């Protein structure tokens, strides 16, 4: 048995499944964790049964059942539910630290790896001195190779999104591909051995040996060309073992074919194949002897080398004395066509058809909506909110701002109101002043400025606390290095990613501080003007000059052409106000629809999700059609806003043209001009008030959102420091 390699199990440890699963369901699912209490307990037991136990088929069955449930669980839960999964490297020393990832896909891949390891060890334990034992060994090697192929093609891609330095070296594709070829090679070797026991013809035995050699060659080539990290993950004697086996079976193939040539009276070809066999056998023996390969393999290669040498001596003597046939060059020998008695290697049925292991009623979390469906709902809601915000609300805000900016440039409606209402204040301005007064505008803005400053300081404090954690770890690391060398990178190298993130967050906060300062300066410039809007109506009217003074004591009156232009201009301003109100109604209608369709999209996604089998590998993209169809109902509102924009362009053009005529026709009255300026100043103050208020609301939201990100970063720094401590312990 010692002439075959076995794959060790990836050692795992007990994990607390209950707490993170309950927390995840509580936070992210429309269900109570107690509803799934039995499922969580069964999950814990399934994992315990899979991890514990010896090397026997019962443990393989337990691992297959656990894997089947993991496939179902991954259809219901995302890979990261904050459940820490620890596994040691397959070839790690007994005291080596495990690799821990918060990743259920990592758990699934490791379970599959251990199924492979169990099959390889069960195969190696079989008695290959009889055909029944060989058949059982072949079956286990076939299952191991099939599981590796399934693992590489179906399970491993789910780890590709992890950074390269987080994927364990013994789960790299090259590592697993080499193991797959190894399991195939050892299955073929068992098949070759069975053919020998059955005394099949030498020509077929040669072809079987050639196939075995090709599989060993593929396994060796993958390791030889793998990255240094992957190559270094194998024991030092593995590559020499594979290379020795490759050369050994190439030698066996030529040796057996030489016997076949002798039986066909091709004595010159026989001798050529024997000398080629000798070259391969010598290479195999040298590689095995010098590469630390197990003694059984060394003895096998030495025995073959001796047998070939004896046959060469006999064949040379016979050919020289009797047959006198030409001995062809090695390059002229016909290639030995490979053959195999091993059935096609496929993944075990328990992997590809998990319903053979668990029924629908046994599926864990079967009543929980699939995570992909929940994520599809979240994605839809995000897309919906973004659509409403960007293409309706924000577009409307930009259009309204363009109106305000254009009217301010044209001194409207102040110049019109100064003419229409020579004394008192226009109703529109009174309404704006009342809004600011009732909201206690200046005091509210001052309070908001303080709140934003407080949040900015809070965010910076969180970032500094996170950096303090990194500094403390670095100090601890430096102190330990003074005591003894440590087999790990120093802190300034190991925490480079965290430090880079911290630098990026600090830059963000510094840029935000500049924006805050700009808003404060804007407030300082406009505070006094905005305070005027909070005055009583009488005080406000007194502050605005009237345009009624004439020598006759009568109210001033505009000329007929001016009155005509004023009426037409007023009509256009009323049209533009109606356009703004219509857009406000569009926003309101869209938001009402958005609130009402929360259940609509959920019910559609749930209905579609129910159509998939319980263990389907669902992705959020599978619900794209439902999402697109639901989002289509907002197209009408977007089109209305776009049509409103086209109307606005035309209206503003008309307003500019009419205002120019109005200005030309209006009499140059200084009192009217002074009144216009005062009204315009108050109107502009109101717009600045709204602008500053919006800036502060955006700042408040920004710092709140950033605080959540910084708290997560701080927690990551804590976990990193804990991990570094555990490495030392």
What is the model's pLDDT at position 556? 46
What is the model's pLDDT at position 549? 40
What is the model's pLDDT at position 1? 47
* Average of per-residue pLDDT across 256-278: 95
The β-bridge partners of 101 are: 85
What tokens does 305 get?
A: 């080398």
Question: Could you give the residue ranges of the DSSP H alpha helices within 30-103?
Answer: 37-51, 57-76
pLDDT surpassing 90 at residue 475: no
What is the model's pLDDT at position 295? 93
Same domain, 324 and 216: yes
Rg (CA), the chain: 41
53/134: higher pLDDT? 134
Domain end point (choices 291, 317, 337): 337
In terms of pTM, does the model score above 0.75? Answer: no
Same domain, 158 and 244: no
pLDDT category at 479 given cuts 50, 70, 90 is confident
Q: Rounded to an integer, what distance in angstroms lies between the CA atom of residue 474 and that of residue 478?
A: 6
- Write out the residue range of the structural domain in which residue 226 sits: 200-337
Burial label, 136 (beta-carbon count in 10 A; 0-12, 13-18, 19+): middle
What is the model's pLDDT at position 165? 67
What is the model's pLDDT at position 550? 42
Q: pLDDT tens digits for 536-559?
A: 877 777 777 765 544 333 334 455
Residue for token pair 């992957």: 230
* Average of per-residue pLDDT across 11-34: 90
Among 284, 310, 280, smallest CA distance to 297 is for 284
Residue 380 located in a structural domain: no
Residue 126 located in a structural domain: yes
DSSP string, 8-22: PP--B-----HHHHH
Residue 9 located in a structural domain: yes
Same domain, 309 and 457: no
Same domain, 134 and 270: no
> Which residues contact residue 404 at a Cβ distance below 8 angstroms, ignoring those fewer than 6 apart?
687
Q: Rounded to an integer, what distance in angstroms lies between the CA atom of residue 426 and that of residue 678?
A: 12
Q: Rounded to an integer, what distance in angstroms lies between the CA atom of residue 635 and that of residue 527?
A: 41
Q: pLDDT tens digits for 635-693?
A: 999 999 999 999 999 999 999 988 888 777 665 545 566 667 777 788 888 888 888 99
Residue 536 located in a structural domain: yes
Same domain, 539 and 419: yes
Give pairs for 430-433: CB < 8 Å, separation 24+. Answer: 430/537, 432/533, 432/682, 432/683, 432/686, 433/533, 433/534, 433/535, 433/537, 433/540, 433/682, 433/686
Q: Rounded to an integer, what distance in angstroms lies between the CA atom of residue 210 and that of residue 205?
A: 9
136/674: higher pLDDT? 136
Residue 597 located in a structural domain: no
137 sits in which H/E element = helix 131-150
101 sits in which H/E element = strand 99-101
Alpha-carbon separation of residue 408 from 76, 404, 415, 514, 681 (angstroms): 57, 6, 10, 28, 10
What is the model's pLDDT at position 314? 95
Q: With beta carbons less than 8 A apart as the criterion, state whether 128 and 193 touch.
A: yes
DSSP-assigned letter for residue 237:
T
pLDDT surpassing 70 at residue 418: no
Q: pLDDT tens digits for 294-335?
A: 999 999 999 999 999 999 999 999 998 998 999 999 999 999
**Mean residue pLDDT across the chain:** 88
* Average of per-residue pLDDT across 701-726: 87
What is the model's pLDDT at position 304? 96
Q: pLDDT tens digits for 481-530?
A: 777 777 777 877 778 888 888 899 999 999 999 999 998 998 988 988 88
* Average of per-residue pLDDT across 78-97: 88
What is the model's pLDDT at position 18? 93
Among 37, 34, 38, 23, smallest CA distance to 77 is for 23
Residue 396 located in a structural domain: no
DSSP-assigned letter for residue 87:
E
Same domain, 348 and 221: no
Percent of the chain with pLDDT over 90: 56
Which of 238-247, 471-480, 506-515 is the most confident on average? 238-247
Residue for token pair 């770890």: 473
3-state secondary structure 521-575: HHHHHHHHHHHHCCCCHHHHHHHCCCCCCCCCCCCCCCCHHHHHHHHHHHHHHHH
pLDDT category at 368 given cuts 50, 70, 90 is confident
Same domain, 355 and 322: no
* Least trusted range by pLDDT, from 4-13, 622-631, 644-653: 622-631
Same domain, 141 and 36: yes
Q: How many helices (H) and strands (E) does the chain have?
A: 25, 2
pLDDT category at 615 given cuts 50, 70, 90 is low
CATH classification at residue 514: 1.20.140.50
Question: Could you give the residue ranges of the DSSP H alpha helices within 342-426?
Answer: 349-352, 371-387, 394-409, 414-420
Based on the structure, what is the number of domains in the chain? 3
* CB atoms closer than 10 angstroms to residue 458: 15
Using alpha carbons only, what angle is made at residue 121 by residues 116 and 127, rounded to the nearest 5 degrees? 135
Same domain, 359 and 321: no
User: What does the CA dihedral 45, 46, 48, 52 come to, rounded to 10 degrees?
Assistant: 140
What tokens does 32 get?
A: 């109570």
pLDDT surpassing 70 at residue 220: yes
DSSP-assigned letter for residue 3:
T
What is the model's pLDDT at position 553? 35
Same domain, 148 and 169: yes
3-state secondary structure 495-513: CHHHHHHHHHHHHHHHHHH
What is the model's pLDDT at position 366? 86
Q: Rounded to an integer, what distance in angstroms lies between the CA atom of residue 694 and that of residue 696?
A: 5
Q: Rounded to an integer, what distance in angstroms lies between the CA atom of residue 241 and that of residue 246?
A: 9
* β-strands 85-87, 99-101 pairing: antiparallel
The β-bridge partners of 100 are: 86
Calculate the CA 332 to chain-centre distance: 55
* Average of per-residue pLDDT across 557-563: 62
Same domain, 316 and 348: no
Same domain, 238 and 205: yes
What is the model's pLDDT at position 670? 58
Residue 639 located in a structural domain: no
What tokens does 438 get?
A: 């009732």
Residue for token pair 């599959």: 112
pLDDT surpassing 60 at residue 587: yes
Q: Rounded to an integer, what distance in angstroms lies between the CA atom of residue 234 and that of residue 239?
A: 8
* Least trusted range by pLDDT, from 54-58, 173-177, 600-604: 600-604
Residue 627 located in a structural domain: no
CATH classification at residue 103: 1.25.40.280
Which backbone phi and psi does 147 adopt, to 5 degrees? -65, -40
608/535: higher pLDDT? 535
Q: Rounded to an integer, what distance in angstroms lies between the CA atom of residue 680 and that of residue 691?
A: 16
């Amino acid at each position: 048995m010692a002439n075959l390699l076995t794959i060790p199990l990836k050692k795992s440890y007990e994990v607390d499944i209950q707490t993170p699963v309950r927390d995840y369901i509580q936070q992210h699912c429309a269900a109570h964790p107690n509803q799934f209490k039995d499922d969580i307990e069964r999950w814990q037991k399934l994992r315990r049964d899979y991890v514990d136990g010896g090397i026997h088929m019962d443990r393989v069955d337990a691992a297959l059942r656990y894997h089947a449930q993991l496939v179902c669980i991954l259809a219901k839960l995302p890979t990261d539910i904050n459940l820490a999964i620890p596994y040691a490297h397959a070839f790690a020393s007994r005291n080596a630290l495990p690799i821990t990832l918060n990743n259920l896909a990592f758990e699934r891949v490791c379970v599959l790896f251990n199924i492979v390891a169990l099959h390889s060890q069960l195969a190696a334990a079989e008695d290959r001195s009889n055909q029944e034992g060989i058949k059982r060994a072949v079956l286990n090697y076939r299952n191991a190779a099939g599981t590796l192929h399934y693992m590489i093609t179906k399970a491993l891609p789910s780890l590709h999104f992890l950074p390269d330095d987080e994927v364990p070296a013994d789960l790299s594709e090259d590592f697993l591909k080499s193991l797959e070829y190894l399991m195939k090679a050892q299955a073929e070797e068992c098949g070759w051995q069975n053919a020998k026991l059955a005394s099949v013809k030498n020509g077929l035995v040669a072809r079987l040996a050639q196939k075995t050699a090709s599989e060993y060659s593929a396994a060796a080539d993958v390791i030889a060309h793998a990255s240094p990290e992957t190559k270094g993950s194998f024991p030092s004697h593995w590559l020499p073992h594979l290379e020795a086996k490759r050369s050994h079976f190439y030698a066996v193939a030529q040796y057996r074919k030489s016997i076949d040539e002798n039986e066909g009276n091709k004595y010159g070809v026989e001798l050529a194949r024997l000398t080629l066999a000798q070259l391969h056998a010598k290479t195999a023996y040298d590689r095995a002897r010098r590469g630390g390969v197990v003694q059984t393999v060394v003895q096998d290669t030495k025995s073959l080398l001796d047998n070939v040498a004896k046959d060469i001596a006999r064949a040379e003597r016979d050919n020289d004395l009797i047959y006198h046939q030409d001995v062809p060059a090695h390059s002229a020998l016909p290639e030995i066509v490979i053959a195999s008695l091993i059935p096609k290697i496929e993944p075990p049925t328990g992997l590809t058809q998990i319903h053979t292991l668990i029924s629908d009623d046994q599926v864990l979390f079967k009543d929980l909506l699939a995570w992909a469906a929940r994520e599809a709902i979240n994605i839809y809601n995000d897309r919906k909110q973004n659509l409403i915000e960007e293409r309706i609300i924000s577009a409307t805000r930009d259009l309204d701002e363009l109106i305000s900016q254009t009217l301010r440039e044209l001194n409207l409606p102040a110049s019109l109101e100064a003419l229409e209402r020579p004394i008192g204040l226009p109703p529109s301005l009174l309404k704006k002043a009342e809004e600011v007064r009732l909201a206690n505008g200046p005091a509210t803005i001052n309070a908001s400025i303080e709140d934003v400053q407080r949040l900015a300081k809070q965010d910076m404090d969180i970032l500094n606390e996170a950096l303090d954690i990194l500094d403390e770890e670095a100090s601890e690391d430096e102190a330990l290095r003074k005591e003894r060398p440590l087999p790990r990178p120093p802190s300034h190298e190991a925490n480079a990613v965290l430090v880079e993130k911290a630098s990026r967050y600090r830059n963000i906060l510094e840029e935000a501080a500049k924006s805050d300062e700009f808003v404060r300066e804007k407030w300082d410039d406009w505070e006094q003007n905005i305070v005027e809007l909070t005055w009583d109506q009488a005080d406000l009217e007194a502050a605005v000059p009237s345009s009624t003074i004439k020598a006759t004591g009568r109210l001033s009156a505009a000329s007929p052409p001016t009155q005509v232009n004023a009426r037409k201009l007023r009509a256009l301003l009323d049209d533009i106000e109606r356009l703004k109100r219509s857009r406000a109604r569009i926003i309101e209608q869209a938001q009402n629809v958005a609130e009402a369709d929360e259940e609509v999209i959920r019910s559609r996604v749930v209905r579609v999700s129910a159509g998939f089998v319980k263990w389907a590998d669902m992705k959020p993209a599978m619900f794209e059609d439902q999402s697109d169809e639901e989002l289509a109902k907002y197209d009408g509102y977007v089109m209305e806003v776009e049509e409103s924009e086209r109307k606005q362009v035309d209206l503003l053009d008309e307003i500019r043209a009419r205002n120019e005529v109005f200005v030309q026709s209006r009499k140059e009255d200084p009192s009217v001009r002074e009144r216009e300026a005062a009204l315009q100043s108050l109107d502009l103050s109101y717009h600045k008030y709204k602008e500053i208020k919006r800036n502060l609301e955006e700042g408040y939201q920004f710092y709140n959102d950033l605080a959540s990100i910084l708290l997560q970063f701080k927690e990551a720094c804590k976990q990193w420091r804990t991990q570094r401590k555990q490495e030392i312990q």
